[in-house]
Chain A
Amino acid sequence: MTVLKVGILSCSGEECLGGTISRLATRKVLEEMKMVETVTLCLPLYNAGGTEERNFANVFPTISVDGCDKLCAKRSTEKYSGSVSVSIDVSRIIGNEHALNTRIIRKKDLKEEHYQMVDEVAAEIVKAIGALDPNSYAGKTFRGCGCGE
């Protein structure tokens, strides 16, 4: 059976809520998506890792998920690895007022409205996966992120 894999790279930004939402939405898709196998990579491994990590976006069609319009995950992927298939800017989904919130960032501070934002962004990621050409993610293999994913 052919294994279908799509790469999802989150910024996980620590300075604002958008980063937390991007991280949680990415995790949600990684854990719950069943029709297509998804993989991720710790973004800073582009510098701290080796060739395998830098080859990530060349091996998989990759969706970047960024918490704000700096688009660090997208730009770093394109700088160190390869072009992304889809770029998702969380701030365009939940609005800058929420995305750039610098007080509510920790998971334990999130409220129901924030989990709804996670669901919205996860739905966008799933939609993006659905729009990919299946031929672009068939039969690819990857040793995986150095930290175990």
Chain B
Amino acid sequence: MQMSNKVKVIPCSGIGKVFGLVAREAALKTVLELCPEKAETVCLAYIVTGDDEVKERMSGSVCITVDGCPKMCASKNVSLSGGNVVDEVKVLDTVRDHKGKNFGSPTELSDDGYVVADEIAAKIEQRINELA
């Protein structure tokens, strides 16, 4: 298996609340649009399986997790898989700057939801550039 040195940006993609979708959209914007040469993602569901192949892929890799709720599922699962979590991004930290806004639903972000996702993606991009 070919190993990658790219920073792994892994969101929780929580399916029950809008902040899971914000985490997902922020991470995907980072790896697909802002830093495709420096960053990639790994399916969190694959990490959860604990398969040897994904453990090997994650082992010692530099990871930034993005979590939508205090359960911190992405961070905990990445750590369990052997990933080196250098930054735990919490969606709620950015949401605090947008009090009273409607961010959409777990199915579809509103314009304000995308504003928050884009802000988080920009912060992650900055962090990746610091790491590079």
Contacts and interface: CB of A to CB of B under 8 A. Distances in A.
Contacts of B25: 106-108
A48 B47 CA distance: 12
A68 to B, nearest CB: 9
Interface string B59-76: 000000000110111101
B108 A107 contact: yes
Contacts, number: 125
Interface of B: 10-17, 19-21, 24-25, 27-29, 32, 41-50, 68-69, 71-74, 76-77, 80, 106-109, 114
Nearest to B23: A14
Given A23-B13, A103-B32, A147-B14, A44 B73 contact: yes
A11 B45 contact: yes
A26 B74 contact: no
Given A106-B25, A145-B16, A44 B69 contact: no
A107 B24 CA distance: 10
A23 B43 CA distance: 13
A40 B32 CA distance: 28
A15 B9 CA distance: 11
Given A43-B44, A72-B48, A48 B76 contact: yes
Contact of A14 (B11, B15, B50, B71): B11
Given A15-B41, A27-B107, A48 B72 contact: yes
